[in-house]
Every structure is written in structure tokens, then in C-alpha cells.
Chains A and B, each alone.
Chain A
């Protein structure tokens, strides 16, 4: 295991639902990331947190709302999603942002299907 745990592993939701994805890391890292992975496309960075502060939001629609209560936990709150939001959502962590040699450790992801 990588030390990064994501729940749930699979999620099916309607366009009017509200749900949340959870990520927890046990590596003592201070940076956490949300990525979207669609089939045959590169990973898309969504949000970055460093020491609980959001440092990056890559023009993500407001129907995705991140929350980072502490350096070990990261949430992605979802509401009124669209079918094109169906994808694998990956969480990652690293010691901190901005250090060139740091490795990002990824969770197994949440497979999201929006009906």
C-alpha cells in the first residue's frame, strides 16, 4: 500500500445528488492533491493544498468543492455534477509542494459515475 487511502472506491450518483470523496494519508506529508483521470487522457490536476492552505485551483467548476481540515485529510465535495464528470478521482500526497525531487504518492482512486 502507498499510505494514501481513498474512500469510497466506487460511487454512482445522480446529477442532483450531493456526495463527498475522502482521502487520508499516513505518511506525515504536508501537501495533498486532487486529480481527475479520464480514459486515455493525461491526469488533470484539480486542487493543491500545502500545510492545509489551498495553493492551486486549476479552473475547476464550482460543483467541485475541496476541503482540507488538516494535513492528513482531504475531501472533495460534489454537487449537481454532470455526466462528463464521470472519471477516476485520484488523491496524492507529498512532503510539501515546490520541492523538485519529491515523489507524489497516490491513492487507489474513487471511480465516479454520474447518471
Chain B
């Protein structure tokens, strides 16, 4: 079983709407959690990084939350745009390795 589980696997939203992606992990000990955005035909690009003591971090219309007690993170996209269509990957690091989620594919429709 993968140590990083993301849900949903995919979702479709209308332009201008909000959505939330979930990431649950079992990685231990925890060092940090990073959300990556991967556009079609491109490699992943880092959106945010969160450490144990951080609950919320924003990057423009992207807001990530972390609950280290329940080992859950979410990525909230506000006022979605067509350019938000991509795969979003949750990556959790312990002391020596990265564990990747399978990603959530977001499709924003006009």
C-alpha cells in the first residue's frame, strides 16, 4: 500500500469555482509535505512546501493545509481558471526519502 494516498483521482469543475484536493499519508517520521503541479506534457513544478509546524500556506489562488496529527493535507484552489487544469501531486518526505502520491487530475471547463 502506498504511503501517500490522494483523492479524488480526478475531478471536473467549472471555471470560477473552488475545489479541494486531499492527501493522506502514513510516512513517518515526517519532515515536510510538498504539493506539485504537473501540466500536460510538462514535469512537476513545486507549488508549496509545509513543515510540521505549519498549518496553512498560500501561493496565489492555491492554499495548502496540513494536520500533522491526523496526517492529512489538502490543497484548495480558489476561483479556478482554465490554466489550473493539471495533475496535482502530493509528496511527503521523511528523513531520507520522498514518497509520492498518484496525483489528482483536475479539469477546469469554461
Contact = CB atoms under 8 A, between A and B. Distances in A.
A100 B33 CA distance: 10
Interface string A97-115: 0101101101111000000
Majority-rule SS of A interface residues: loop
Interface residues of B, number: 24
A42 B2 CA distance: 8
A81 B43 CA distance: 23
A101 B49 contact: yes
Contacts, number: 44
Category for how many chain A residues contact B: 10 to 19
A27 interface: no
Contacts of A42: 2, 4, 99-103
Given A40-B103, A43-B44, A43-B89, 15 more contacts: A40-B102, A41-B102, A42-B100, A43-B100, A90-B43, A100-B31, A100-B32, A100-B95, A101-B49, A104-B46, A104-B98, A106-B43, A107-B43, A108-B41, A109-B41
Interface of A: 2, 4, 40-43, 45, 90, 92, 98, 100-101, 103-104, 106-109
